[in-house]
Structure 1
Amino acid sequence: MLIRILHIVTKMDAAGIETLLMNFYRNIDRTKVQFDFLTHRSEKGFYDDEISELGGRIYTVPAINPFKHQQYLNSLDEFFDNHREYKIVHSHINTYSMYPLRAAMKAGVPIRIAHSHIANVPFDLKTPFRIYTKSKLTKYSTHNFACSEMAGLWLFGREIASNGTFKVINNSIDASKYVYNEVTQKNIRKQMDIEGKFVIGHIGRFSKQKNHFFLVDIFHEIYKKDPNSVLVLIGEGPLQSSIEKKIEELKLKESVIFTGVSTNVNELLQVMDVFVFPSRFEGLGIVAVEAQAAGVPCIVSEYIPEEAFITNIIEKISLSKSPNEWANAILKLGNHKKKNTLQEINKAKFDIAEQKNELEYFYLNSLKELI
């Protein structure tokens, strides 16, 4: 029997949550489990074509808007009224998962999963809205997932955390694709014209969360100490033009490479000497796992959950430390010799081969329990 799982997302672009879903989707047994997606953006997503090729369907509802609240609720109710085929709905929009899971419950969907992918979001104008939706979420979910203990505690609260009633699903990767390869490193560095450079790397959307302005300050300090340094930025996002402006003002333009969104992150990681991840908040930080899988030493902020500390090549520095202190810590890793970390990634259960079996089993078994 083939079952179709409806995943609730913002948009299927090449960001952390979406890339995680695609890792599962590519590897899961699609003769038993098929993924469909309900998105909140009308524009075409990065993964839309691949989803169609894999047999998935993509639906759209309007974006969540506090000023058009009822319109959004009506669109969800209408969707679930017209799609009674779904028995499992798996929502990935954090506190806002309350809304689609509420509509799914009204429509009689028996399995409703809230999945936390983030933690410790700082106060902003949306905070009251998040507090409200968070307080109602578990009223509508039947199962609660999280990418880390920290993410589960943040979204579901202490009572559920203390009862152990949320399940940690590791943000898994196809670890074998990331294994350090000296030949690949040399070839990609040659293509990028960065042979012989000290390469600092970062992967992430250009948003406040990822803290690119601080990252550029760190690189500025590194560059002053070692003008042979290069910063490679993988991703795109709303703050990119502001970051580019700052880089120009600091006269670093010739030493910073913007790759845009990439389909070969595993290869780009090979060129990095150090991966730097000064995020203001994270649910896990899957790119730190990817970097470790590639044998790249990592310097990360204190907001990266402990589950991401898989190997001995990752260390934490507080964001309260100065850019110069971060720079000194990064420069100390300049002579690190990369190694194959596949065994450590597998032992920590971050390889997709094991985790996809666990998720597949959950989907299939949860329906059997209803019969």
Structure 2
Amino acid sequence: MIERRGYRLNHSDDHIKKKEKVCFLIPGMDAGGIENYLLRFLQFHDDRNWSCTVIARNEKTGDLTKEYEKLNVKIRYQGVGYANPIKWYKLYQHFKSESYDTICDFNGNFGGIPMVLGKLAGITNRIVFYRRSSRAYELTVLRVFYDNCLNKLVSTFSTKILSNSQHALNVFFENGATYNGQFKIIPNGINLESFRTKYSKEEARQKMDIQLNAYVLGHVGRFDPAKNHKMIFAVAAELTKVIPNIRFIFCGKGTDGDEFIEATQTYGIKDRCHFLGLQDDIPMVLKTMDLFYFPSVTEGQPNALIEAMIMGIPILASQIPSICEIIPEKFHDDILIDPNDVSASVKKIMDIYTMRFEQVSLEEFMKRKFNANKNFKLFENEL
């Protein structure tokens, strides 16, 4: 035993601790719920004392590549395939050569194969994180069989199964309410500091060229059937008849593309719309809104909706299980609706517009429930 500059060193111990090595598998580098979640988690833990590799399954760069490159992580583009033993062997070789302590696959049931390969490679901590509450493909007999096989592999070869919602686990696993210690729910984490904006509503609207006296209905989400933009267009078309100064903001991947803009033209609302596409400063975008409208037909745990509530913006959202799960039940009738009922949605928005009932504010509740310090720590502990 020796002492040096206040430190006691025991030569019988490995006093220089090896960095933990963690590997994350995500669908790709394009902006999406999974990719954004992991990016925010890594940004929040940029001072981490563990080394990190991110594997993008689609083997291409994307919207978020540069953001990931700014972090102290290794990026690897490597497909896994659906039934490709060559790709499986290459991934096994990578796992074996890197000697990871933990692998975490964000691809739901498709994490089954990596869990098997991780087990064979001697990785002790093997995690699958479910962040969708529905399958992202049309089910056929063959796909159902394959999906069930992968699900069984996840159950058998993972050491932990995580989700951001109870509903997602109920969808993918039977007896969802009676899980053993293999399962855990970790809500999304929102860095509250990043959702403070220096702009007032008037300043934000001036910067984004939006009329100061307009009633602004907004939505943040990629152009995807799950986000139900056609419903927003149909409701918007009706609202233009009764609210002369109404304007609509669309923010998210694909919302500035030709197909999206042409769709608004079909509904006769193009001239009332602002097409923002991907934006870096989401708090400023949200600050312009009077109402956040979110009629998704399926969600895991929608960050965009949570962020709007954290900003104190009134919301109207889908009455689907994953959203019901995050909203206190006593407020369901006021702010949740059938995502495909145009007339009911128009009526509810008019009630909010004319202030026929007291506005519901869930700002403080959401700040507590989705605090990044708490929820990202829960995830870090699993790694």
Bin for the TM-score computed over the shorter chain: 0.7 to 0.9
Kindly indicate whether the alpha-carbon contact (under 8 Å) linking 1:285 and 1:308 is maintained by their aligned counterparts in 2.
Answer: no
Does residue 376 of structure 2 align to residue 356 of structure 1? yes
SS of equivalent to 2:79: coil
Distance in structure 1 (CA, Å) of the matches to 2:249 and 2:181: 40
Distance in structure 2 (CA, Å) of the matches to 1:257 and 1:4: 44
Letter of the structure 2 residue corresponding to residue 329 of structure 1: K
In the other structure, the counterpart of 1:329 is: 348
Moved more, 333-342 or 151-160: 333-342
Once the 2 structures are TM-superposed, how far is the Cα of residue 71 of structure 1 from its aligned partner?
4.0
Does residue 172 of structure 2 align to residue 151 of structure 1? no
In the other structure, the counterpart of 2:204 is: 188
Give per-residue Cα distances to partners, 1:18-46, cap 9 Å, x unaligned. Answer: 22212211122634234321111233233
Distance in structure 1 (CA, Å) of the matches to 2:66 and 2:197: 30
Distance in structure 1 (CA, Å) of the matches to 2:226 and 2:58: 21
In the other structure, the counterpart of 2:323 is: 305
2:364 aligned to 343, 350, 357, which one? 343
In the other structure, the counterpart of 2:289 is: 272
Once the 2 structures are TM-superposed, how far is the Cα of residue 238 of structure 1 from its aligned partner?
9.7
Kindly indicate whether the alpha-carbon contact (under 8 Å) linking 1:179 and 1:293 is maintained by their aligned counterparts in 2.
Answer: no
In structure 2, do the counterparts of structure 1 residues 329 and 8 end up closer, same or farther at CA, with 3 Å as the change threshold? same
Once the 2 structures are TM-superposed, how far is the Cα of residue 220 of structure 1 from its aligned partner?
1.2
SS of equivalent to 1:257: strand
Once the 2 structures are TM-superposed, how far is the Cα of residue 270 of structure 1 from its aligned partner?
0.9
In the other structure, the counterpart of 1:130 is: 147
Give per-residue Cα distances to partners, 1:256-315, cap 9 Å, x unaligned. Answer: 112111111122111111111111111111211111001111111122333321695972
Once the 2 structures are TM-superposed, how far is the Cα of residue 56 of structure 1 from its aligned partner?
0.4
Question: How high is the sequence identity, in percent, across the aligned residues?
Answer: 21
TM-score by length of 2: 0.84
Kindly indicate whether the alpha-carbon contact (under 8 Å) linking 1:160 and 1:166 is maintained by their aligned counterparts in 2.
Answer: no
In the other structure, the counterpart of 2:105 is: 91
Once the 2 structures are TM-superposed, how far is the Cα of residue 101 of structure 1 from its aligned partner?
1.7
Segments of structure 1 that go 5 or more residues without pairing to the other structure are 364-371
Distance in structure 2 (CA, Å) of the matches to 1:13 and 1:47: 6
1:4 aligned to 8, 21, 31, which one? 21
In the other structure, the counterpart of 2:59 is: 42
Once the 2 structures are TM-superposed, how far is the Cα of residue 335 of structure 1 from its aligned partner?
5.7
Query: How does 1:1-371 map onto structure 2 within 5 Å?
Result: 1=17, 2-28=19-45, 30-62=47-79, 64=81, 66=82, 69-84=84-99, 86-121=100-135, 124-125=138-139, 127-128=143-144, 129-158=146-175, 161-163=178-180, 165-179=182-196, 183-194=199-210, 195-237=212-254, 241-303=258-320, 304-309=322-327, 315-321=335-341, 323-334=342-353, 343-348=364-369, 350-363=370-383
CA RMSD of aligned residues (A): 2.8
Once the 2 structures are TM-superposed, how far is the Cα of residue 150 of structure 1 from its aligned partner?
0.6
In structure 2, do the counterparts of structure 1 residues 288 and 156 end up closer, same or farther at CA, with 3 Å as the change threshold? same
In structure 2, do the counterparts of structure 1 residues 220 and 75 end up closer, same or farther at CA, with 3 Å as the change threshold? farther
**Which structure: larger Rg?**
2
Higher relative contact order (CA 8 A, sep 6+): 1
Segments of structure 2 that go 5 or more residues without pairing to the other structure are 1-16
Distance in structure 1 (CA, Å) of the matches to 2:252 and 2:33: 11
Once the 2 structures are TM-superposed, how far is the Cα of residue 341 of structure 1 from its aligned partner?
5.6
SS of equivalent to 2:112: helix
Distance in structure 2 (CA, Å) of the matches to 1:31 and 1:284: 26
In structure 2, do the counterparts of structure 1 residues 347 and 58 end up closer, same or farther at CA, with 3 Å as the change threshold? same
Once the 2 structures are TM-superposed, how far is the Cα of residue 346 of structure 1 from its aligned partner?
3.4
Distance in structure 1 (CA, Å) of the matches to 2:178 and 2:133: 14
Distance in structure 2 (CA, Å) of the matches to 1:277 and 1:72: 39
The number of residues matched between the two structures is 357
